[in-house]
Amino acid sequence: MFALLRAAALIALLPVLAGAETIRVASFNVGLGRDGPGLMLRDIAGGKDAQVAAVVQVIAQTAPDILALQSVDWDHDGAGLNALAAALKDAGAEYPHRFAARPNSGLATDLDLDGDGRLGGPDDAQGYGDFTGQKGMAVLSRYPIRTDAIRDLSPLLWRDRPGALLPVHPDGRPFPSAAAQAVQRLSYTAHWVVPVALPGPRDLTLLTFYASPPVFDGPEKRNARRNHDEIALWLALLDGALGAVPENVVLAGGANLDPFDSDGRRDAIRRLLDDPRLQDPGPASPGAALAGDQGHVGPDAMDTVDWPKVGRLRVDYVLPGSDWRVVDAGVFWPAPGEPGHDTALAASRHRLVWVDLAPDIDRPAPPR
């Protein structure tokens, strides 16, 4: 098994050739969010930041065609993302098409959203953040993004999600207040539906998000409930509860939840992984498999993050729709001593997750 995992890791080092039949879709929490606005841009543009260099190397080596990024600071003019794209181009990984919109993280409100009795804290923003756009999201693509057809679900109020698990006080009153719930958005960071124009008759529709941590909670379990509902929003979308059901989907992003070993409400991520409209390719890596037994229920080889004290978990996902043929999948986490191992650890606590896809040739392409 370890030999197969090592082979998968080496495959991940090879760029996908132009015109190849497969499309590589990846998700990567790069951990480039900084403590103040403009600092990520400074670190990227300066050309001397070791973490930035490692992130660029991981992306260049794995060469995704379409890449969902988490934990990248957003700015109004896109300067930070453009600087990252320029660094990637210098490394041989060119992404002429990219998308980022203002996330909910750091989007200030004038209410006490976390119930601590104070105003103006990072947890009183729509999503945790010290400034607007901190630890946001972005999409990089080799193929054109149909920006005019993007659906941004981020403004959706939490209370408007079908079946919302809103937090309450012990006496049943809305937590922290009815006024807070009247403005509280569901998305901790963002939920985007992003059509990408592929060569040939099909588009790929990327479903991407970066969910709330399900911990750091009081007895009302606000964060655990929100995380659950953020994950379950994709099921509502596929059910048609949010309007038109997208075609040829690939869900790629950060759920912040392991289906077996995370604290939190794990039923939503399990339902997502088991949904027949999606596929779980079970991407794995030799680095995770050889990192040591933690006594977890879930398979160690499929872990995608290594948090201090918490340990290794599977929290990052690429789940293709059932109308795609999965050719290969993996997590970029080479074994100790293998090429790229140290780079993967230096880049981020998270690892890049990738899946190679081909259209199901037995299924006719939808009309365009």
Average pLDDT over every residue of 16-37: 83
Average pLDDT over every residue of 319-336: 97
Q: Work out the pLDDT band at 363, boundaries 50, 70, 90.
A: low
* Higher per-residue confidence, 169 vs 217: 169
Q: Work out the pLDDT band at 201, boundaries 50, 70, 90.
A: confident
Structure confidence by residue, pLDDT tens digits, 92-117: 999 999 999 999 999 999 999 999 99
Given this model, what pLDDT does residue 163 score?
Answer: 92
Average pLDDT over every residue of 292-297: 90
Torsional class of 79: left (φ above 0), alpha (ψ -120 to 50), beta (otherwise): alpha
Given this model, what pLDDT does residue 86 score?
Answer: 98
Given this model, what pLDDT does residue 16 score?
Answer: 37
For the chain, the average pLDDT equals 92
Q: Is 288's pLDDT higher than 80?
A: yes
Given this model, what pLDDT does residue 217 score?
Answer: 87
- The fraction of the chain above a pLDDT of 70, given in percent, is 92
Query: CB-based contacts of 116: which residues, under 8 Å, 6+ apart?
Result: 123
Given this model, what pLDDT does residue 359 score?
Answer: 76
Average pLDDT over every residue of 276-300: 95
Among 20-34, 46-60, 137-151, 182-196, the range scoring the smallest mean pLDDT is 20-34
